[in-house]
Amino acid sequence: MKTEIQELVTLFDQNKGEGGGSMKWLFRPLLQMLTKGEPVTVEDIATTTGKPLDEVKDILSTLSSVELDEQGRVVGFGLTLIPTPHRFEVDEKQLYAWCALDTLMFPELIGHMVHIESPCYSTGKPIRLTVEPDRVLSLEPTTAVVSIVTPDDTSSVRSSFCNEVHFFSTESAAQNWLNQHPNGKVLPVKEAFELGRLLGKRYEESGPTNESCCDI
C-alpha cells in the first residue's frame, strides 16, 4: 500500500467526523437499508441495530448532513435517494452518492457490486465504472482520477468533504481544481478505491445487520 494512502488514512482517523462513535453501529446498517431504494424509518433503524428508539432519534438529531423526508424518514446519509451527479446503481435500483469516494467505499460496506456513472467535474465527460466489494471491475476512461481533501473540521461531512471530492477524466483535467485547492490532491481511481476500503474499515464494528444484505 502506498505511503501516501496510509498518510491520508491517518489524517482522517485523527478526526472522528460527523456522528463520532455512533457510526460504528449506525452507518453500515443504514447504508444497507437505503440500498432497498426506500426511505428508512427510525423504527427500522432501531430494530436493525438493536438500539433503543430514543437513542436512534437522538443520534439522528446530531447529524447535520442527514437527509430526512417530511415524515422524518432517512432518505440519505452518504448514499441517498435524492439525485446527485454520482449515480449509484445497485440491484437494478437507481440511487446516488454524495461524492466520488463514497461510490468507491460503499460497495464493500453494502456487500454488493454497483454500477457508477458520474461526470468529469471539469469537462462533463461521463466516467463509468463497475465496482465489486473487493475491486474495481471496469473503468472508463482508465485515466480517471478522484480529488481528495482532508478538512480539519468534519462536523458536517458533506459540506467540508463530500462537496470537494469529484471524478475527473484525467489528472490534467483536475489541474484547475488543484490550483484552487493547494492542500488537495488527486488519486487514480484504483488508489482512491483502496483509500475508501481502508476508511470503510472504521465501520466494521457495526451492530446486527439485516441478513438479506451481505462512519467519514
Catalytic residue positions? 99, 102, 162
The CA radius of gyration of the chain, in Å to the nearest whole number, is: 16
Strands 114-119 and 135-140: unpaired
CA distance 77 to 31: 8
Compute the C-alpha angle 114/121/139, nearest 5°.
35
Query: Cα–Cα distance between 118 and 166 in angstroms, integer?
Result: 9
Residue 55 one-letter amino acid = E
129-163 per-residue burial string, b: 16 or more CB within 10 A, e: under 16: bbbebeebeebeeeebbbbbebbeebbbbbebbbe
Given a contact cutoff of 8 angstroms between Cβ atoms, the answer to whether 210 and 48 are in contact is: yes
Q: What is the DSSP string of 45-87?
A: HHHHHT--HHHHHHHHHH-TT-EE-TTS-EEEESEESS--SEE
Alpha carbons 176 and 46: distance in angstroms, whole number: 45
SS3 of residue 90 by DSSP: strand
